[in-house]
Chains A and B, each alone.
Chain A
Amino acid sequence: MVATMRKERPKHLALHQINLPLPGIVSILHRISGLMLFLSLPMLLLMLQYSLASIETHTRLLELLAHPLSKLALTGLLWAFLHHFCAGIRYLAIDLHYVRSLEQARTSSKVVLAVSLALTVLLGAKLW
């Protein structure tokens, strides 16, 4: 008797049927881009070192960066940086109570996604 009255637990949510809301997409991309930037730190520091150490290493770096694969990697990192930057500014704005309503949360999420992508295309075009 008691067993039939018990609620069905545990509940299993169909995660693949739940759509992540727009601010959620910005949030997970903030994590992914942050991780991308963290993992490229040794390479970025090496690039700074090569660019400063001597004219020989500087020239060598420019040669290496001229390769299409390097440009592709740099474009990816450029997006990661720009998304992380824009989403970070949005979080600071939220902390300062500039974003108050659901509508503003959605609009600002769209702005973050659009601005970081647009700047990636703009600066990426310069790179290529």
Chain B
Amino acid sequence: MVNRVVVGAHYGLRDWLVQRVTAVVMALYCVVLAGWLLSQPYLNYDVWTALYSSQWMRIFTLLFLLSLFWHAWIGVRDVVMDYVKPAGVRLAIHVLVILALIVYSIWSVQILWGM
């Protein structure tokens, strides 16, 4: 056996797994929501808010949104690492993306529980 020295940041496998787990959560949410939308004969404000007034739907939606933000972070980070060469610009974009996603997370809670 070759005695290999493993180098690197060691987040590869974890992020690979996170990207897939969050994808499955989002896919499930989309299928459930699409199924609900198709089963409604008539859509209006009352029907729409009735769906989101249930605690289960709020939690499921927040789980979907947080999965989305985590998924987006890994995806955007990988794309930026591939195409943005100057380290300073890359760092600045990473910081902006992280801050935006934190704000979106807080905003999501506000949307779902403040309606």
CB distance from A64 to the nearest CB of B (A): 15
CB distance from A8 to the nearest CB of B (A): 25
Residue of B nearest to A89 (CB): B27
B interface residues, tally (CB under 8 Å): 21
Taking each of A49, A52, A53, A58, which has the highest tally of chain B beta carbons within 10 Å of its own beta carbon?
A: A52
Taking each of A37, A41, A55, A59, which has the highest tally of chain B beta carbons within 10 Å of its own beta carbon?
A: A41
Bound form: Cα–Cα A89–B24 in Å: 9
Q: Which 8 A-B pairs have the closest CB atoms?
A: A52-B115, A58-B45, A49-B111, A38-B72, A34-B75, A55-B45, A88-B23, A38-B76
Interface size class of A (residues with CB under 8 A): 20 to 34
CB distance from B13 to the nearest CB of A (A): 13
List the B side residues contacting A34 at CB < 8 Å: 72, 75-76, 79
List the A side residues contacting B48 at CB < 8 Å: 51-52, 58
CB distance from B18 to the nearest CB of A (A): 14
List the B side residues contacting A52 at CB < 8 Å: 48-49, 52, 111-112, 115
Task: Please report which residues of chain B, range 91-115, place their CB below 8 angstroms from some CB of chain A when the two chains form the complex.
Answer: 100, 104, 107-108, 111-112, 115
List the B side residues contacting A49 at CB < 8 Å: 107, 111
